[in-house]
Structures are given as C-alpha cells and as structure tokens.
Amino acid sequence: MAELPYWSPVEKEGYVGAQARWVEFGEGVRAFLAIPESGTPPYRAILVGHERYGLVLDSFDVAARFAAYGYVAIAPDMASKFEGDKVALNKGDIGGGWNNEIVQSYMAQSYDFLTTLPEVDAGCISAIGFCASGGWAWLLNSVRPDLVACICYYGGGRYDEGLMSKVTAPTLFVYGEKDHTTPIERVFAFRDEVERHIQNCEVHLVADMPHGWMNDTMKGRYRQREAEEAWDHIMDFLDRAHGGYFNADEVHLRFEADFAVDHDFKKSVRYGEGAFPEPSMTNFAALKQDVAEGRAPRDQLEAFIGLYPEFFQLHPELL
C-alpha cells in the first residue's frame, strides 16, 4: 500500500493494538475513536487535539498509539461543519474557521461522549494538544473541572490568566528550542506565570527541536529519537497524574530547559515535508509586500531568504 500523505483525511488500515472507527455525537461533532485491543476495561481515556490542518493522518496515528498504550482516545474534528475546500484545509493552505468557542464546545461534547462509553473510566480522562491545539486541553478543563491532566506540545500561546484561573488539572508544557513560531523567552514567561499563580505544571524546553518534531507524517520536522523520548515523557506524566502524584495539598512545579548559549530565535526555520527547511509562503509574501511598500528594510527580506537557501534555489521565480 502506498504511503499516505500528511494531509490524508483517511486513516491507515489496521492499527496495531487499536480498534478504530468514526463516530458522530452531540451537535454533529465528527470524531476518530480508538479503543485498546488488549487489557481489561474500563480504560483511561484521552482527547487528542489536531493541528491546524484539521483531522488528518498524524492525529489518527496519535490516537491509535494511545489506544495501544491502553487509553481510549478520541480526536474530534473542529472542521466537522466546515463547508469550504477540505483539501486546501488539510494541506494547510487555508484555515478551518473554528474559534475558541467552537473548540471548547466540541471538546466538551467529546468528553461527555467518552463518559457514556462502557470501555471508559469516566473519572480518568485527560487531554493533549499539538501545535494549533496546544491550548485546547485548557479550554476543555475550564468547563470540565474533573479533567485529570492537560498536555501541550509546541502550542498554546501566551499565558492567559483568565483561562488558566479555571484550569484545575496539572499541565505538561513542552516546546522545542528551535521552534520558529515561539521564542524561548515566551516559554520562560509561561514558567514564571504558573509559578506566580501557584499551579501544578511541568515545563520542558527541548534542545535543538524544531516545531512539530513528533509528527512523523512530515519527514522534514520529525526527529525519531526525541519523539520517542517525548512519548515516554507523556506516558510518565499521565501515570503520575492518574496515580495521585498531583494533589490538592501540594503544588508541584518542574522546569527543565536545554538550549545553546548563542541561541538566536531569528535563525529558527520552518520544516515541512521535505528534507530541507521550507518557509511559510504567507509570511514570505507579507514580508515582500512590507519591503516593497517601505515598511521593512530590504536586508530583512534578504535575511529571511538566507534561512532557506535550498528552497529558493529550487524556486527562483518567487524572488
């Protein structure tokens, strides 16, 4: 069978250790559900947030892997009612139209659906998000206070005091040093805020990692060894969260950061499918326009082009 592209809206055939199917519930929410093939129910459960591409291959793979680890996993599609160009959405060329209100509603409906399943221990449900869905676990927890854990990988944005004041579950917050979307200073700022607000949280900045390094459907950004380490980290955190490590009488804070002495955010680049970095064409077009209209200096554009020499060598027509 040919390898599916990262933007595939269809899952692989025969996930090992998981029984997968599509479900629909609530107000027309469509979701991918994966249930463990082994072990004895009821199982722990987890909600899986998808990246900006909508519900595509990587999210299916993540849900199935959680099932293989003994979790019922559900990945709701935030574009369940999207009527635009789904292929363009799945390739990342356009947005899917969802906002925080839609995300919170769909996540809550997915949580409630999980509690109805006989395979699920309704008191053992967590949530994880990647990239654009990094903050979705917090949005869910703000309306479902019994959520056991919130996990955020290379997403989530800045600390939102109004939202985080409603978060009751411990958070695992992880970024890569070379994430082109987020300066490491923002990770430090998030650490400072959770400490100031006395919240259970573990913050980890991973050396050398680009944005999306756990996504093996995009070969340019995938880092196998560090991705496997991340999975170990996630399962350890969940085991501790479900095992009572975090309790109402104590606050647990951990911070671990590895980064170069000469770290320079301006040198962080975007990786995609290819073997070499690929720029965001939206950002490139905007920068070209700013230079053309005198809002940005020419050397800023030249510096951007210099970050992606292989790409622009193949596409000189864009210059």
Pick the CATH number of 18-257 from 3.40.190.10, 3.20.20.220, 3.40.50.1820, 3.40.50.620: 3.40.50.1820
pTM: 0.96
**Mean per-residue pLDDT over the chain, rounded:** 96
CA 177 from chain center: how many Å? 16
* Residue 1 clears pLDDT 60, i.e. is over it: no
Q: Order of strands, edge to edge, in the sheet holding 120-130?
A: 18-25, 29-36, 71-76, 43-48, 120-130, 150-153, 171-178, 201-210, 253-257
Task: Write the burial class of residue 25 (CB in 10 Å: 0-12 exposed, 13-18 middle, 19+ buried).
Answer: middle
* Residue 313 clears pLDDT 70, i.e. is over it: yes
Mean pLDDT, rounded, for 12-16: 95
Q: What integer pLDDT is reported at residue 106 of this predicted model?
A: 98
**d(C-alpha 227, C-alpha 86), whole Å:** 28
* Residue 36, CA distances (Å) to 60, 144, 173, 208 in order: 14, 24, 26, 34
- Axis-axis angle for helices 298-306, 281-292 (nearest 10): 160
- Give residue limits of the domains in the chain: 18-257, 279-318
Spatial neighbors of 192 by CB under 8 A, at least 6 apart, are none
Please give the single-letter amino acid code of residue 301. L
pLDDT (tens digit per residue) in 221-274:
999 999 999 999 999 999 999 999 998 899 999 999 999 999 999 999 999 988
**d(C-alpha 79, C-alpha 106), whole Å:** 10
Q: What integer pLDDT is reported at residue 83 of this predicted model?
A: 95
pLDDT (tens digit per residue) in 70-111:
999 999 999 999 999 999 999 999 999 999 999 999 999 999
pLDDT (tens digit per residue) in 108-140:
999 999 999 999 999 999 999 999 999 999 999
Q: Does residue 8 sit in helix, strand or coil? A: coil
Mean pLDDT, rounded, for 274-285: 91
Q: Are 141 and 127 in contact (CB under 8 A)?
A: yes
pLDDT (tens digit per residue) in 155-186:
998 999 999 999 999 999 999 999 999 999 99
* Residue 282 clears pLDDT 90, i.e. is over it: no
Mean pLDDT, rounded, for 182-211: 97
